Structures are given as C-alpha cells and as structure tokens.
Structure 1
Amino acid sequence: MGGLSSADAAQLQAHLQHAVTACSERCLWQSAKWAAELLNSLPGVSDSLNQSDTEVDSPMSDGTQSTPPKLKISVDPVQTQLEAKELPRYLLAKSFFDCREFDRCAAVFLPGSLPKGAVGSNLPQPNRRSSAGKGKARMSTPIKVKSYEESLSGISHKSLFLALYAKYISGEKRKDEDSEMILGPADGGVTSNKELNGLTSILEGILSNLHANNANGGGWLEYLYGIVLAKNKNEELAKTWLIKSVHLYPYNWGAWEELCNLLGTIEQLQQVTEQLPQNIMTYIFHIYASQSLFQVTDQVHNQLTSIQSIFPSSAFLKTQRALLFYHSKDFEESESIFSELLTSYPHRIDSVDVYSNILYVMSLRPKLAFLAHTSTLTDKFRPETCIVVGNYYSLLSQHEKAVIYFRRALTLDRTFTSAWTLMGHEYVEMKNSHAAIESYRRAVESNRRDYRAWYGLGQTYEVLEMFSYALWYYQRAAGLRPYDAKMWQAVGQCFAKVGKLGNALRAYKRALIAGSFNDGSASSFGNSQGGEFGVGHLGGGVLDPETLYQVASIYERLDQKEESAAYMELVLAQEEGPQADDEDGIFAGSSVQGVGVTPTTSKARMWLARYEFARGEYQRSMELANELCQDGVEVEDAKALVRDIRARVEADAG
C-alpha cells in the first residue's frame, strides 16, 4: 500500500471525521478517541482544517473558498426524519449516559424492562407453575417480545442503539457490583449480566425485521448484537454479525476489536480476512490482529511500515510496532519506541502497562519509577496506571503491595487480562498456589491468547508435582508461542518427568530450533517444523547448553550412549561459539560469542571424561579431567578421576 492520492486522502479524512462524530453520538468513547487520534495523524489535517476556517475576505485567503471533502455515506431519509423529531429526547438520554445514569438513559426510549426471552431464540419458556397453564405459557413470550418490538418501531436506530447499549452497560455495571471483592466467593462465573437475554431477544427481532425489509441497522445495531452474542459465548454467530457490522460501517474501531478478541489462531484470522471488506480499516485490523496473535514476521512489519506512510505520527501504529518487538523479545527496540511515545505524549496512558513490563524485565528501576510517577499524576484510577505501580513494587520485591495495586486495577476493570496474569505471578512469589491458579484461570478466561497465564498455570502445577496438568498447560503456551524456546523446554521437562522420553526428546529439539530463530541462526537446522533430528542437523550458531545437556541425558536414559556423547560434545562446543569449528569462514567477523565455562558445560565435560575412561580412551579422559581442574568446577571429582586414570594406565603398563 503506497501513499494516498489527494482525493483519497480527503475522502479518508472525511470518513474519520464522521466516525468521531458518529461514535461520540452513540457514547462509544474509545472508538471515537481512536478515530480522532488517527485523523490527526494524517499529514496536513490541521492545516486543512485551519484553511477551511479562513474567511474568503481575509488577507490570509487566496480568494478561493476551501470546502471540506464530501462524504460518500448513504443517508436514510426516514432515519434522518426520526432523529430530527426525537432530538430533545435523544439529548436528554445522552446527557444521562454521560453522567453514567444508564438506567435513566435507557428509560427515555425503552418502554419498561426488557423481556426475559431465551438466549438467541424467540422460543417460549415453559411455565413452571402448573401443567395446566402450559398452553398459554407457550404463546406468552413471543407475543410479549413482538409487542415490545412494535413499541420500538417509531424510534430511530441511533436512539435505539443508545438505549440498548445503556441497558447493556447497566447490566455489566450491576454484574461487577454483585461480584463484590476480587477472587471473592461471588467473583468469576457466579454472577452474570442479567440484561443479556432480553437484549438478545430484542436485537434478534429488530434485525430480523430489518433484514426482511431489505434494511439494516447501519452497522451499529449489528455491532451491539455481536457484543451481546460474544458475552453469551455464542462466538461463531458473534463473528458473523461483527463482520456484517464492519461491512456496513467500517470506521467503528470497537467492532474490529471485538472481532479480534474472538480470534484464537492465525488460521481463524485468515478465514475471517476473506470475508472482510477491502479497505484501509481491514488493512489496519490485519496488522492489529497479527500482532495480537504474536505473528512477528517481516510481512507484518512491512505492512505496518506501509500504513505508517499514510499515518506517520500515529501513536497507535507506533505502539503496534513496539508490541511486535516486545513479542519477539527485542526489549531494547521496544523500550526505545515506548520512550519516544512517552516523550511525545506524556499524558497518554494507553499501553503503558506493557512498557512497565519491559522496564521490569530489563530491571530499569529508575525509568519504571519515573513512569509510575507520571502515570499517577495523569490518572491514578486507570487500570494501566495501577499495573505500572504494581510492577514497580514487584521489582522492589514488595509482593504484597504489588498485589494490592493489581487488585485495584481489576476493581476498575475485571476484564484487564494482564492484571490477572501479573497478580498470579505475585501469588507464586508469595507461595500462594491456590490464589495463583485462580488468577491465571481468570486471565485465560478473559483472553485465551495470554500465553504467560497458560505458562504460569503450568509452572504452578509443576511445583505441586501435578505433571500431567502442568504438561497440558505448557502445551497450550507452546502452541501460542511456537518459536519461544522457554515454552518447549518446559514441555520437554514435563514429558521427561512423566516418563515419555520420546516426546521429551522432540520437545527439547523443538526448543533448540526455537532458540536458533531467536539467535538469528535458523539456517543451522534442516527443518523448521521440529521433527526428529539427529546431531548432524545441529550446530552453527550458539545453542542453549542446558537444553543440549537435557537431550544428552535422555539419550543416556534410553541407553543410546553414542548419541548422548555427541550431544555432550555439542554442549562443550558452545563454550567458544560458532567460530571454534568454522573452517569455511562462514562466521568470520560474527558477533556471536560462546557462553564460556558454565556449570552445565562442566557437567558435560565430567560426563565425557568418565565416558572416555570407560571406553579406554585414557588420554582424552585425562585431557578433559585436567581441564576441569583448571576451570575450578567439579574439581574433586576430576582429581579422583585423574588418580583412577593414572592407576589404570600404570596397571596396564605393568
């Protein structure tokens, strides 16, 4: 995607301006903010707006009236007439919504409480009071729903959306109030949004009637129906309606976010992409969804570079770039982008929780303290701010205080996934396994793509020595992060503990492959899919000595000493790096360094020394044992082996 022509840029500007207004009118504040930020990242937008405000007779004018770009959006004259007729009531309802009086907002247009229909169906509910009344009960619910829908027929779609959305938000607010304390007895799946059933019945009926008359809800009612279906776990149908919504009105970013939340794999993203409209919003969505699914590829980076040529100053797109580097564990590059964003937008709170995670991993305590201070000054009651402060206390090893702030973040927003995950980490540090497991479970319920929560569940169950459970969770984490060596190491370790040595070997070798991708030496391997490899497929870049040692140990348990010895030799080779055996000069001038002498390489050297001694290769065994004596690791065992070698050599000579 190259740069836009002036006509296309003007059209895009008009669409974004309309989106800000349309979303604001329906109290979709986050979507309005997103569109406004994107609008202002278009080059020359502020200049064109100022020029359009300049009067013709002004000395600053060139004598020609600057007209705003025309917007090509179909307008329904019936809806326009209804909106004009009910404008005073709409303004009253919106003022109630802005004051967070959601029930009062809904009551302006909705005639009483919503009907309690079945979820996703207009079928009647059986009468539980008596069998004699069953016949009447079967007819009561459809008539009630139908009459309710008829009472809404004279309301514009905009006002109807606002009223039904207010009812939905009211139900969510009441659900949080009923849940009471975080991780309390009423928290989790015990409480639910009691408005969902009625909203489902009404929206289903309204949209069915519109479809029968070859009409639609302008993309807004379809969007709300998709949200309600997703909350009721009817995800496939929710996808269908959200796709309809973005076809009808593609500039509502909230619909794209909800659609992304329903995607669990890159295959699902590819299936959905085929059904989406071909426009710039789909392009942005594909980048956002790919990042959310940890697809850190050159293709995604190139797509992001292309779209940034259109919106060069977009903070949202810069954040996506930083997140891509974060997922690939390039923390320095990601931190640099977030630091630049903080300098350019010091009052922007969005995604600072991820920035604090990076500073925590890099142990940059002064920067994390500064970020916590500036975020608190901006808004101390944002979940992101609480995450930043919690991470700061965690870095200070004050885990109780960290938990307090993570709980505060969840009190503000119970769907804030990273807060659940980080609170689970803190409970692990505090040795509270039950609370850690519950926190991680809530994280994966909120976001199935949170590999850190899956990995945390695996770690916690492994500590409890419930290895079958741990293995299942580790495999879920590895499925989400197939190129993360740490995930496959954990899978291999659990397979070894449950006695499945063949599976353990495959997992450890997959970890070696994943590690090679991170080190930029993927060419060392003959296959990137992680099948069964011999030692000849390994080498080139620096590999993880501990993983190699575990592979060698498993071969020893399988009584395959030759393979085990070959991997032990590979462990030793990592001390000096790829230059050690680089006869062809492939790694000439390479910055890749060896790991040096480590406890793992010393254990491998000791194993090889004993192995060579058992084979009668006394000279090689003596060399390895003497190296151990010089390294200062395993010294006593090495000295004992030297004495045994000398005694055996003398006995053979005598």
Structure 2
Amino acid sequence: MGTLSQADEAQLKAQLQDAVVGCTERGLYHSAKWAAELLDSLPAPDDHGSDTDVDSPMSDAHPPQTPHLMPKDATEARLEAREAHKFLLAKTYFDCREYDRCAAVFLPGPLPKQAPSTPNPKSKQAGKGKAKMGTPTKASFSHHSISSLSQKSLFLALYAKYMAGEKRMNEDSEMILGPQDGGVTLNKELPGVSAVLEEWFKKLPSSGRQPQGWLEYLYGIVLAKGKNEQLAMDYLVKSVHQYTYNWGAWQELQALLNTMDELNHLVTQLPQNLMTFIFHVTTSQELYAVNDQVHNSLSQILTIFPTSAFLKTQRALLHYHNKDFDDAEQIFSDLLVSDPHRVDHLDNYSNILYVMGMRPKLAFLAQLATATDKFRPETCCVVGNYYSLKSEHEKAVMYFRRALTLDRTFLSAWTLMGHEFVEMKNTHAAIESYRRAVDVNRKDYRAWYGLGQTYEMLEMHSYALFYHQRAAALRPYDPKLCMAVGQCFGKVGKVMNGIRAYKRALVAGSYYDAGVGSSFGSGEVSGLGGGILDPDVLYQIALLYERIHNMNDCAAYMELVLAQEEGPDADEVGAEGVGGVGVTATTSKARLWLARWEYMRGMYQRAMELANELCQDGVEVEDAKALVRDIRARMERPGGEEGY
C-alpha cells in the first residue's frame, strides 16, 4: 500500500466525513470520534507557499463539497424527509440519555418478547394465556409501524431501547464482587430488539429496500450478546460490506475472533479496502501476533495517516506485547506530549511504567489523568497501578473497583484487581476477578495465567495446569508460560510432558530477571539474548530427568547450567561477546549436584574441583565443606585413588 493519489485521498476524506456524520446521527459517538481523529490525521494540504489571502477573490481555496457516499433508494429518502422533525426530537432525547423517551418517538408500544434467534416452543400456549391478561405478545405487536419507518429512524429507536436496557442492567447490578454480585445481570431489552430485527430482515427481500449496514450492525451486537456468535459474525460481515467506515462493527467482529487462523479465514470474506487492512493489523495486535509483517503493514497505513494517535498506539501495544518496553514507553510519552488530554489506553501506559519501575512518571501520569477526567476507567486503573507500586494494595483495589463500577467490561481492571488480591493473599477474590476477566475477553492470557498461578498457590495443580495451558495456547512463544506448564506437569507426575514443556521454553528463549518493579502477574521479564539459556529452566529439566532415573541426561543439563555462568564464546556471538549470568543460587545448586555425582562415580578429582569452587562462591558453603572432607577422607584411604 503506497501513498494515495490526490483523487483517492479526496475520496477517503469524503468517506471519513460521511462516517463521522452518519455515526453521530445514530448515537455511535465512539465510532464517530475514531473516524474524526483518523480524518484529522490525514496530511493537510500545503498552503504555505501561497501569499493570497483566503478571503480574496483571487484565492483558489474552494472547500470541496462532500458527496453523499451512501446512495439511498427513493423509499428511504422519502421516509427520512417525512420523519425529519421527529428524528431531530428523538436525537435530542438520545443525547440527553433519555433512551426510553427517544425510542417512544418512533416505537410508542412495547416490543415483542422473544429470545434472540431462539424460537420459544411454548410461545403459542403462553401467548394465549398472556393475551387474556393484556400482556403484549409478538402477535399483538404491529410490524406495520416498523415497515413504515426509515432504516435511520428504526436504528435510532432500537439502539435507544438497547441502551436503555444496558442502563437498567448497570443500575440493577450489585456492588463489584459484593455478596450479591453474581455477574449474571442481563439486558432485558435484548429479546424485544432481536425479535423486531429478525422480523425486519425476514421481510427485507420482499420490501424492495436496500440495506444500509446499520441495522445489520445492531443485530450483530444483539446476537453476540445472546451467544449466537456465528450468526452475529455473518451479520457483522454484511454490515461492513454495506457500510465500511463504521468502526464499531469492526470492533464487534474483532471481539468474536479467538485465533489468527480465524482471522485469516475471515479476511477472505471482507471487502478488500483500507478498513480491512486496519482491521487486520489491530486484530493481530489483540491476538498478540507480533511479527515483522504486522509492523510493516502498520508502517504502510501510517504513511496515509502520519499523525494518527490511534495507529501510533497500536505500534506501542505491539512493542508492549513483545516486551520492548523502552520503545513502547517512548511512543506513549510522545503521544502524551502531543495530546495531554487523551485518556485512551493510558491504562496500558501505566502498566508499562509499573513494570519499568518508573514511579515518578507514573505519579505524574496519575495526576494528569485525574485532572483530565477522574471518572474514566482508564484513569482509575492508572491511579490503582500507582498505589500498587507503592504496595498500598487496599487503595489499589478500591480504584480498580471504581473503574469496574464505571464499566463492568473494562478488562484491565478485572485482571489488575486479581493481581492485587493475590498480593493480599485473598485467593478466592483473585480467582473470581480473573474469571470475570476471562468472561469479558477469552483472549486475555494474563487472566488465564493468573488463574493458573492462584490455583498453584492453593496446591491444586491439575486446575493450575489447565489454566496455564490455556494461557500458553494464546501465547505459544512466551517462555514464561511454557515454563509454568512444565512446572505443573512435574507436580502432577507427567514428567516427560514437563520436560517437553521446559524445552519449549528454552526454544522460545528468555532469561527471567525479576527486576525492579515487577510483581505477581506483571508477566514481564527481560531477556539476556546472545545465546544464553535460562539456567533455571535447564536446572528444572535436569531435576525431571533425575526423577525418571535418567542420570546421564540429568548430568548433561547440570553441565549446561554451569556453562551459562560464562556465556558463549565471543566468536560465537560476535566481536563484542556477551557476558554470562555469573554465579547464581541455581548454578551453585547445579555445581553441588555435579560434585556429589562425580563423588558417587568415584571421580574424586573433578568432585574436589567443583566443591572448592562452591567454597569460593559463597553459596552452599557448608555443604561444600562437608563434601570436601568426605572426598579427602576417601582419597586418603589405601586404594582410594580416582578411577578412570
């Protein structure tokens, strides 16, 4: 994807402007904001070379007319013109968050009650009994009133009903993780909205009207809420084909995808345009698929929108997932300078600062976010991370609860609150927090890993193994997760499976350093690189071989542990070379094991060398001195010379 021609750029501007207007008219404010920010990030025309005043008759700066890019059939145009004054009234109610009042402008009666896309086998009998009592049923609902509405007005009315249900659902919900909080409060308007849309789409082919993509988008949301994910995906694909620049539809599609294979299969069904390109990059980021291809694709999109904060944030998140914290922090820092009032994704920025141990900068970020908007979930997470870094875990939990009170689907808050409960040794609350995080987003490997770690603390290793495997399936090349799987396999007695998992961790290649600022659940480690293997992983492999009495392989891996002290030779890794890990507790344990192994084999000279090295290291000194005494006593006996 190269630079756009002047005609293509003008077309793109017109499409984005149309998207901003169309989304705003329908109350889709986040999608409108996204399109407007993308529109603003297009390169501005170069007017600096002209000295002609803009108001002068000689000026050639004529504002281009924005074409209406969504062709309407005559029926829709006529209906919209007839409903214009009512639509304005309904829209003002919607903007004032009077959702029921907004819906009543076009749909004054109650909606039919029917489960989303699920026929009720008792509907006939129940309908007869309820009709006598005057309760509205599907039969008593007039679909003629819906067919006489434009798609624009019908969308606003049904979306207002949906929002009214969401509002009541939040009002009816109990305190976060309170005694009555079951997490199963439902939007009671979903069945009615689904029934109306199902009937509307059933009659669409015979009506002769052209679909516009907006009602398909709403139906996709309702179906996804009702767990009918495949049908939801079908309608969302129809939506993006009919109206490409509704970012909300792409986000709903993104939430339904769980693997890169599913994404690659779906892309073949999507329109081949710029929005699909952006969707592929952002979904790859959400699925932690960090590779050169994704970075190159993002670079190409940035040539079209060079100042887009959204796209730069995607770059920062790619670095974050790849544990390139310095690069990610620099991008977020630059974004904060260019737009200090932007709160989006500041929770991710605070996670990076937390892991890097940058407490002063995290404190500044917390103050800035609070001054901008203290009642945003992102702000609450930033402040919660700040208190967590200060080890004030109760205050951190309070702010994460506040974030979830504002938005129960805010994933970061559930996961971070789980980490805090683990720090407070409240394992039951931690498990519930992680479960809620998984309910919100099954692709969050941190929540799965947190569940595994918490069950390990409870010594329920079979449960821990299941959750660690789920986490590792989402991040197959994360050595930390492979290591956790190997540890659980060892605890449940599946030794060979554990060895394979640990070897996979070696292939993924990372040396874990707890570092400043890391805590449970941060999941961030730094790698030495340069061909150095993690001595802890090598040592665990050796111990597993010892459990199955494969002493030769055990000894070989213990030798590998010792080899990591010095690191590879300079000619193997380049002219500069790389230092080893030095003497650590793990390498000292391996040296002690090897010394005893050589002693048992009668290789006293080698055992003495290893034991003396242990005495010099200052680790395991007493055991080493006792071994030296035993070796000397054995060597001083007649016939106690070392055998070969």
Deviation at 1:143, TM superposition (A): 2.8
Task: Give the alignment of 1:200-219 within 5 angstroms.
Answer: 200-213=194-207, 215-219=209-213
Letter in 1 for 2:139: I
Cα 1:20–1:518 change in 2 (3 A) is farther
Aligned length: 623
Letter in 2 for 1:511: A
Deviation at 1:645, TM superposition (A): 1.3
Cα 1:45–1:229 change in 2 (3 A) is farther
Task: Give the alignment of 1:251-262 within 5 angstroms.
Answer: 251-262=245-256
Task: Give the alignment of 1:86-165 within 5 angstroms.
Answer: 86-121=83-118, 125-126=122-123, 141-145=137-141, 147=142, 149-165=143-159
Cα 1:85–1:127 change in 2 (3 A) is closer
Deviation at 1:53, TM superposition (A): 12
User: Could you report, residue by residue, the CA deviation over 1:422-458 in whole angstroms, capped at 9, with x for unpaired residues?
Assistant: 1111111111111111110000000001111101111
Cα 1:38–1:135 change in 2 (3 A) is closer
User: Could you report, residue by residue, the CA deviation over 1:533-582 in whole angstroms, capped at 9, with x for unpaired residues?
Assistant: xxxxxx97111111100000000111011100110011011111122xx6
Cα 1:518–1:225 change in 2 (3 A) is farther
Cα 1:393–1:593 change in 2 (3 A) is same
For 2:488 and 2:18, locate their aligned partners in 1 and report how far apart those are by CA, in whole Å.
Answer: 55
Instruction: Give the aligned CA root-mean-square deviation in angstroms.
Output: 2.5
Q: SS of the residue aligned with 1:513? A: helix
Letter in 1 for 2:269: Q
Match of 1:425 among 419, 425, 429: 419
Cα 1:646–1:223 change in 2 (3 A) is same
Tell me if 1:58 matches 2:70. Answer: no
Cα 1:340–1:624 change in 2 (3 A) is same
For 2:112 and 2:121, locate their aligned partners in 1 and report how far apart those are by CA, in whole Å.
Answer: 11
Match of 2:400 among 403, 406, 415: 406
Cα 1:501–1:268 change in 2 (3 A) is same
Deviation at 1:65, TM superposition (A): 4.2
Q: SS of the residue aligned with 1:578? A: coil
Tell me if 1:271 matches 2:265. Answer: yes
Deviation at 1:215, TM superposition (A): 3.6
For 1:392 and 1:134, locate their aligned partners in 2 and report how far apart those are by CA, in whole Å.
Answer: 56
Match of 2:581 among 595, 600, 609: 595
Cα 1:171–1:52 change in 2 (3 A) is farther
For 1:211 and 1:442, locate their aligned partners in 2 and report how far apart those are by CA, in whole Å.
Answer: 41
Cα 1:92–1:247 change in 2 (3 A) is same
Deviation at 1:621, TM superposition (A): 1.0
Preserved contact between residue 444 and residue 454 of structure 1 (Cα < 8 Å): yes
Q: More deviation in 214-223 or 562-571?
A: 214-223
Deviation at 1:151, TM superposition (A): 1.2
Listed as ranges, the gaps of 5+ residues in structure 1 are 520-538
Letter in 2 for 1:587: V
Tell me if 1:471 matches 2:465. Answer: yes
Q: Residue in 1 aligned with 2:607?
A: 621
For 1:10 and 1:324, locate their aligned partners in 2 and report how far apart those are by CA, in whole Å.
Answer: 30
For 1:26 and 1:559, locate their aligned partners in 2 and report how far apart those are by CA, in whole Å.
Answer: 69
Deviation at 1:75, TM superposition (A): 2.3
Match of 2:545 among 536, 551, 555: 555
Q: More deviation in 589-598 or 446-455?
A: 589-598
Q: SS of the residue aligned with 1:436? A: helix
For 2:237 and 2:490, locate their aligned partners in 1 and report how far apart those are by CA, in whole Å.
Answer: 45
Q: Residue in 1 aligned with 2:434?
A: 440
Deviation at 1:187, TM superposition (A): 3.0
User: Could you report, residue by residue, the CA deviation over 1:67-102 in whole angstroms, capped at 9, with x for unpaired residues?
Assistant: 336454322232122212111111111111111111
Q: Residue in 2 aligned with 1:283?
A: 277
Cα 1:216–1:468 change in 2 (3 A) is farther
Deviation at 1:513, TM superposition (A): 1.1
- Normalised by the length of structure 2, the TM-score is 0.92
For 2:414 and 2:327, locate their aligned partners in 1 and report how far apart those are by CA, in whole Å.
Answer: 26
Letter in 1 for 2:378: E
Listed as ranges, the gaps of 5+ residues in structure 2 are 514-528
Task: Give the alignment of 1:66-85 within 5 angstroms.
Answer: 66-68=63-65, 70-85=67-82
Preserved contact between residue 483 and residue 517 of structure 1 (Cα < 8 Å): no
Q: SS of the residue aligned with 1:574? A: helix
Match of 2:596 among 610, 613, 630: 610
Q: Residue in 1 aligned with 2:526?
A: none
User: Could you report, residue by residue, the CA deviation over 1:216-261 in whole angstroms, capped at 9, with x for unpaired residues?
Assistant: 4301000000000001111111100000000000100000001000
Task: Give the alignment of 1:343-362 within 5 angstroms.
Answer: 343-362=337-356
Letter in 2 for 1:495: F
Match of 2:559 among 569, 575, 582: 569
Q: More deviation in 553-562 or 111-120?
A: 111-120
Cα 1:463–1:182 change in 2 (3 A) is same
For 2:108 and 2:626, locate their aligned partners in 1 and report how far apart those are by CA, in whole Å.
Answer: 91
Letter in 2 for 1:592: V
For 2:118 and 2:90, locate their aligned partners in 1 and report how far apart those are by CA, in whole Å.
Answer: 29
Q: Residue in 2 aligned with 1:526?
A: none
Deviation at 1:124, TM superposition (A): 6.3
Tell me if 1:249 matches 2:246. Answer: no
User: Could you report, residue by residue, the CA deviation over 1:303-349 in whole angstroms, capped at 9, with x for unpaired residues?
Assistant: 00111011110000000000000001111110010000001110000
Letter in 2 for 1:361: V
Letter in 2 for 1:301: H
For 1:386 and 1:425, locate their aligned partners in 2 and report how far apart those are by CA, in whole Å.
Answer: 15
Letter in 2 for 1:58: P
Q: Residue in 2 aligned with 1:524?
A: none
Preserved contact between residue 52 and residue 66 of structure 1 (Cα < 8 Å): no
Q: Residue in 2 aligned with 1:495?
A: 489
- Normalised by the length of structure 1, the TM-score is 0.91
For 2:530 and 2:205, locate their aligned partners in 1 and report how far apart those are by CA, in whole Å.
Answer: 62
Cα 1:551–1:571 change in 2 (3 A) is same
For 2:167 and 2:52, locate their aligned partners in 1 and report how far apart those are by CA, in whole Å.
Answer: 43
For 2:98 and 2:303, locate their aligned partners in 1 and report how far apart those are by CA, in whole Å.
Answer: 42
Cα 1:54–1:225 change in 2 (3 A) is farther
Tell me if 1:546 matches 2:536. Answer: yes
Give aligned-pair identity as a percent. 65
Task: Give the alignment of 1:156-175 within 5 angstroms.
Answer: 156-175=150-169
Letter in 1 for 2:140: K
Q: Residue in 2 aligned with 1:176?
A: 170
Tell me if 1:15 matches 2:15. Answer: yes
Task: Give the alignment of 1:259-408 within 5 angstroms.
Answer: 259-408=253-402
Deviation at 1:186, TM superposition (A): 4.2
Deviation at 1:45, TM superposition (A): 5.8
Tell me if 1:27 matches 2:27. Answer: yes
